[in-house]
C-alpha cells in the first residue's frame, strides 16, 4: 500500500532505490549525501540486501559494478569530490555495459569547496568526467517526491540501457523535508537476461536489437569474459582494430543518444507556456525559485528532469523564438547545451554559484534587465 511520509530528500532517495529493487549499496561517507548511506544501512538488511561501507569512493563504485555482474541492482551515493574519484569506474561501467546507479548530491566546488552548501556544478562532470566517448543518463529532481520517483527512473533506465545512471541532485533537494507519497505501484524494469546455463559466444554483439544486448550474469553458466578494454563481439580484447573500436563506441553512445527524446518524454519535464518574450530554464533545487519568479512575471518556464542525454530538438521545439534565460547554481554549464540548440544570441545566463539558489527577486531583476 502506498504510504505518505514527511521525509528528507536523501531519505526519499534511499526509499526510491529500495522500491526500485536495489539490494546492494557500497559507499563512502561524504557531505551532503551521507543520509542516503545511513538510510540504506538501516533499510537494506530489512529487505535482505547488503550495505557495505568501502575504503573510498573508487572502491565503492567498483563493488557496485561487481554486484551488478553478480546479478543484483546496485548503487552508490556521493558528492562532487567523491564523484570525481568515481569517474574511471563510470567509464568502466559504460564500456562493460553495467547497469548501476550513482547519486551525486552536488555541493560547491572545485575541490573540497563548500561541503554543506548547494551547487549544480557537476553537470558537465556527469557528462564528460571520464575519458573517452560515452553517454550516460542523468536525472535532476526538484522536490523530495522527485527524489523518490526519479530514483526509480534511474534504476529503470540503467537496467533498460545497461548504462550507469546518475541522480544528479543537489544539497537543496537532498536536505529539504517535504511530504512524499511512497508509491508501491511502481513499475520496475529488469535487465534482459540470456537463457541460463548456456555459454554465450557473443555477449557483446555489434548490432543487437535496440543496440542493447541481453546481460550475462556471473554464476549462471554463461562463461563470459568482461573487460574494460576495447573488445570484440566475444568480449575478447581487440585494442588494435580501429573498426572494432569505432563500432563498439558508436553503439555505446547511440544506444543512449537515439532514445534521448523517449527518455525525456517518459521521465517528463515541466513546460508552463505563457504569453511572453522571455522563457526561463532551470532544473533541480534551483528551479524552485525560478518557477516562483516565472509565475510572478507571467513568463514561460521550462524545467527539464533529464539533464543527459540532452535533446536539442526538444529544446528547439519548446523554446525557439524566446529570449531564454538559463538560471543555474554555477557559472554556466547547462546553458552551453542550450546555446548549441538555439540561436546563441537569444540565450542568456544567470549563473549563481555560492551555495544557495538565487531568490525569486534576483531572477525577476535579471529578467527585467533582459526585457528592459
Binding site for other proteins (CB under 8 A): 23-24, 26, 45-46, 48-50, 52, 54-56, 58-60, 62-72, 74, 88-89, 92, 197, 199, 216, 218-229, 234, 236-237
Q: Which is nearer to other proteins, 249 or 364 (CB)?
A: 249
User: Rounded to the nearest whole angstrom, what is the least distance from the CB of residue 275 to other proteins in the complex?
Assistant: 54
User: Rounded to the nearest whole angstrom, what is the least distance from the CB of residue 89 to other proteins in the complex?
Assistant: 7
Instruction: Give me 297's grid cell.
Output: 512575471
What are φ and ψ of residue 28, in 5° steps? Answer: -140, 130
* Chain center to CA of 113: 22
Q: Which is nearer to other proteins, 87 or 156 (CB)?
A: 87
Q: How far apart are alpha carbons 6 and 11 in whole angstroms?
A: 10
What is the longest distance spanned by two Cα atoms in the chain? 69
Q: Which is nearer to other proteins, 84 or 227 (CB)?
A: 227
Q: Which is nearer to other proteins, 195 or 312 (CB)?
A: 195
**Distance set, CA 226 to CA 108, 304, 320 (Å):** 36, 35, 45
Nearest to 123 by CA among 358, 353, 363, 341: 353
Q: Which is nearer to other proteins, 42 or 254 (CB)?
A: 42
C-beta separation of 23 from 204 below 8 A: no
**Distance set, CA 11 to CA 25, 175, 179, 211 (Å):** 14, 9, 12, 35
Q: How far apart are alpha carbons 174 and 10 in whole angstroms?
A: 5
User: Rounded to the nearest whole angstrom, what is the least distance from the CB of residue 125 to other proteins in the complex?
Assistant: 18
Q: Which is nearer to other proteins, 24 or 352 (CB)?
A: 24
User: Rounded to the nearest whole angstrom, what is the least distance from the CB of residue 67 to other proteins in the complex?
Assistant: 4
Q: Which is nearer to other proteins, 59 or 299 (CB)?
A: 59
Instruction: Give me 71's grid cell.
Output: 546479478
User: Rounded to the nearest whole angstrom, what is the least distance from the CB of residue 190 to other proteins in the complex?
Assistant: 15
Question: In a 10 Å sphere around its CB, with 0-12 CB exposed, 13-18 middle and 19+ buried, how is residue 130 labelled?
Answer: buried
Give the helix/strand (H/E) hosting 140. Answer: none
Q: How far apart are alpha carbons 266 and 314 in whole angstroms?
A: 13
Q: Which is nearer to other proteins, 219 or 312 (CB)?
A: 219
User: Rounded to the nearest whole angstrom, what is the least distance from the CB of residue 39 to other proteins in the complex?
Assistant: 14
User: Rounded to the nearest whole angstrom, what is the least distance from the CB of residue 64 to other proteins in the complex?
Assistant: 6
Question: In a 10 Å sphere around its CB, with 0-12 CB exposed, 13-18 middle and 19+ buried, how is residue 309 labelled?
Answer: buried
Nearest to 361 by CA among 292, 278, 277: 292
Nearest to 181 by CA among 138, 152, 154: 152
Q: Which is nearer to other proteins, 66 or 355 (CB)?
A: 66
C-beta separation of 145 from 10 below 8 A: no
User: Rounded to the nearest whole angstrom, what is the least distance from the CB of residue 195 to other proteins in the complex?
Assistant: 13
User: Rounded to the nearest whole angstrom, what is the least distance from the CB of residue 289 to other proteins in the complex?
Assistant: 40
Amino acid at each position: 500500500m502506498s504510504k505518505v511520509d514527511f521525509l528528507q530528500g536523501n531519505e526519499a532517495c534511499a526509499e526510491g532505490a529500495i522500491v526500485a529493487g536495489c539490494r546492494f549499496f557500497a559507499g563512502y561517507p561524504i557531505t551532503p549525501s551521507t543520509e542516503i548511506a545511513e538510510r540504506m544501512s538501516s533499510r537494506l538488511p530489512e529487505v535482505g540486501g547488503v550495505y557495505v561501507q568501502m575504503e573510498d569512493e573508487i572502491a565503492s563504485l567498483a563493488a557496485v559494478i561487481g554486484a551488478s555482474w553478480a546479478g543484483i541492482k546496485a548503487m552508490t551515493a556521493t558528492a562532487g569530490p567523491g564523484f570525481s574519484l568515481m569517474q574511471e569506474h563510470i567509464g568502466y561501467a559504460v564500456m562493460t555495459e553495467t547497469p548501476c546507479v550513482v547519486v551525486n548530491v552536488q555541493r560547491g566546488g572545485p575541490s573540497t569547496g563548500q561541503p554543506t552548501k548547494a551547487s549544480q556544478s557537476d553537470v558537465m562532470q556527469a557528462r564528460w568526467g571520464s575519458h573517452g566517448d560515452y553517454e550516460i543518463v542523468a536525472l535532476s529532481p526538484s522536490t523530495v517526491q522527485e527524489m523518490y520517483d526519479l530514483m526509480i527512473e534511474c534504476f529503470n533506465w540503467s537496467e533498460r540501457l545497461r548504462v550507469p545512471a546518475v541522480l544528479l541532485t543537489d544539497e537543496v533537494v537532498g536536505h529539504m523535508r517535504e511530504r512524499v507519497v511512497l508509491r508501491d505501484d511502481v513499475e520496475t524494469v529488469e535487465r534482459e537476461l540470456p537463457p541460463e546455463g548456456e555459454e554465450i559466444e557473443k555477449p557483446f554483439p555489434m548490432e543487437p536489437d535496440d543496440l542493447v544486448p541481453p546481460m550475462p550474469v556471473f554464476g549462471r553458466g554463461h562463461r563470459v569474459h568482461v573487460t574494460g578494454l576495447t573488445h570484440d563481439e566475444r568480449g575478447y580484447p581487440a585494442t588494435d582494430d580501429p573498426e572494432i573500436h569505432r563500432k563498439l563506441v558508436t553503439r555505446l553512445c547511440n544506444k543512449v543518444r537515439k532514445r534521448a527524446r523517449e527518455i525525456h518524454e517518459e521521465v517528463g519535464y515541466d513546460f508552463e507556456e505563457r504569453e511572453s518574450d522571455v522563457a526561463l530554464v532551470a532544473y533541480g533545487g534551483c528551479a524552485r525559485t525560478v518557477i516562483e519568479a516565472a509565475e510572478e512575471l507571467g513568463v514561460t518556464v521550462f524545467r527539464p528532469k533529464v539533464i543527459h542525454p540532452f535533446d536539442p530538438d526538444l529544446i528547439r521545439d519548446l523554446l525557439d523564438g524566446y529570449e531564454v534565460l538559463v538560471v543555474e547554481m554555477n557559472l554556466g554549464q547547462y546553458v552551453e547545451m542550450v546555446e548549441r540548440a538555439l540561436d546563441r544570441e537569444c540565450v542568456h545566463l544567470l549563473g549563481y554559484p555560492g551555495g544557495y539558489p538565487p531568490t525569486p527577486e534576483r531572477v525577476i531583476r535579471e529578467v527585467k534587465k533582459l526585457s528592459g
